[in-house]
Chain A
Amino acid sequence: MTSDAPAESPTRRRRWWPWLVGGAAVGIAAGWLVVSLARPHIYAGTVLAASSQAPPMTGLVYEDGAPVDLEALHGDVVLVYFGYTHCPDLCPAMLSTIARAVDAIGSGRERVTTMMVTVDPQRDTPELLGAYVAHFDDSFRGVWGTMEQVRSIATQYGVYFENGETDDAGDYLVGHTATLMLIDPDGTLRIVYPVELGSGDLTDDLVELTG
């Protein structure tokens, strides 16, 4: 059986290779273009869908007695951490991380508010909270409320806490969720950071949001 179709020459068969190489080069160039020009920012924490406003902190007060009004902070980035002044390790570590990150963003720090809400309102007073957080950064705010108020609001932020056993000296630890929450300038609870958060990663995120 014969065929009238002309046999494909080796030269013709090789002709598509330049197109393949050229296409691959264009694809790589396009990828490079996206990365170098658009530079999509990958946040260090879990980014939530922009579906709802951050739960209000009704009834809670700052260290100076002024009520916490999250709506008044729209336009700023707000970092919310639940901790306590007797906290031996996690709280100082997280507050230090935040302090380094905020310090590194330069002028943008004016648009960042950091607050630590106490999970130990029995021992922490507003004044004690204010002095404690100021030890890490002058701009940090201490937030206080009754146990019932803090418990209810912590629940909405995904935070659970409970007192440990009291020792002979009357001291106790408070077990608590140690994640850091970020409220974006639109007032949306946007990012949840793990306890292992690095200050450099947080700096990058804050620059992105305040830039």
Chain B
Amino acid sequence: MLVGLAGIVVAAAVGFAVFEPVQVLPRVRVAPGFGVVDQSGAAYTSEDGRGNVTVYAFAPTTCGDQCAAFHDTMRSVRRRVVAEVDLGGAGFRMITVALDTAEPAALAAAAAASGADGEVWRWVGADQQVLGDVVGSGFRVFFDASDPAAVAFDPVFVIVDGAGVVRGEYRYASLVAEADRLTRHISLLGDELRHSTGAASFLYEAAHVFMCYP
């Protein structure tokens, strides 16, 4: 009898791990704590992101065609998440971290050119020492702004949840089509947030245990 029960338990566990009835985004690590300035000249801190799902991107304020596709993805994600995704009461924000300046006027110009509205999506900046800690060490994103006119950087998107935990990192040259993946993953996060209490929360915790990641 016990052997039979143990077999059922093992089969259920294997079935959960194989068929992944629920998928979750991994809780990768804590996102860095920081304080920066935004496109309006106001302070923006990591604490302002508490309770919000936030998509971070990292780019210089001007980088031509390379940034055009990058910003296209941000615009597409903003439009689709706002229209299609239920985050269970959590807010949604997008932050582009400027890698070359902390001047609000330059940030505002970049925001206007990229379509960042200053509400859902804003540009922020900080001095190079802070950026080194926050972007380089904290978000683990490569950039080299020793020549402000030709900033080298890896196009990266990062999803951070409302508890300040990194839930997704996307390290590739960005195209508009990749907005699909970001939107789908934010939707998964929304599913988890909506089921964060009650019996269903155990199902989602089990999904973390069995690493049911997309």
User: Do A and B form a real pair?
Assistant: yes
**Residues of A that sit less than 8 Å from B by CB:** 26-27, 29-30, 33-34, 40, 42, 46-49, 51-52, 151-152, 154-162, 175, 177, 179, 181, 189, 192, 194
13 contacts between A and B (CB under 8 A): A30-B9, A33-B5, A47-B27, A48-B30, A49-B27, A51-B29, A154-B33, A155-B32, A155-B34, A155-B133, A160-B33, A160-B46, A192-B30
Tell me the interface secondary structure of chain A in the complex. Answer: mixed
Q: Mark interface residues in B9-35 (1 if CB within 8 Å of A CB, else 0).
A: 100100000000000001111111111
Which residues on the B side are within 8 Å of A42 (C-beta)? 202, 205
Nearest CB in chain A to that of B140: its residue? A52
Q: Do A33 and B9 touch (CB < 8 A)?
A: yes
Given that A29-B5, A160-B46, A177-B46 are contacting pairs, would A189 and B29 also be in contact in the complex, using a CB cutoff of 8 Å? yes
A152 proximity list for chain B (CB < 8 A): 133, 137
Return B122 CB to nearest CB of chain A, in Å. Answer: 17
Q: List A contacts of B31 (CB < 8 A).
A: 158
Chain A proximity of B116: nearest CB distance (Å):
22
User: Are the CB atoms of B133 and A49 closer together than 8 Å?
Assistant: no
Give the contacts of B1-60 with A (CB-CB under 8 A): 4-6, 8-9, 12, 26-35, 45-47
Residue B165 is within 8 A (CB to CB) of chain A in the complex: yes
* Partner of B27 from A48, A161, A162, A181 at Cβ < 8 Å: A48
**A49 partner residues in chain B, CB cutoff 8 A:** 26-29
* 11 more CB-based (< 8 A) A-B contacts, given A47-B208, A49-B29, A155-B34: A34-B9, A48-B28, A51-B29, A155-B133, A156-B32, A157-B33, A158-B32, A160-B33, A160-B34, A177-B164, A189-B29
Question: Measured between alpha carbons, how far is A34 from B137 in the docked complex, in Å?
Answer: 41
Interface residues of B, CB < 8 Å — how many?
30
The reply to whether the CB of B124 lies closer than 8 angstroms to some CB of chain A is no
B138 in contact (CB, < 8 A): yes
B137:A155 contact, CB within 8 angstroms: yes
Contact with A along B44-84 (1 / 0, CB 8 A): 01110000000000000000000000000000000000000
- In the docked arrangement, what's the CA distance between A34 and B138, Å? 39
Once the chains are docked, how many angstroms separate the CA of A112 from the CA of B46?
A: 29
Nearest opposing residue in chain A for B163, CB measure:
A46
CB distance from B160 to the nearest CB of A (A): 10
Inter-chain contact B29/A48, CB cutoff 8 Å: yes
Known contacts: A157-B33, A192-B30. The answer to whether A26 contacts B4 by CB under 8 A is yes
B209 touches A177 (CB 8 A): no
CB-contacts of B127-171 with A (<8 A):
133-134, 137-138, 163-165
Chain A neighbourhood of B33, CB < 8 A: 154-155, 157-161, 177
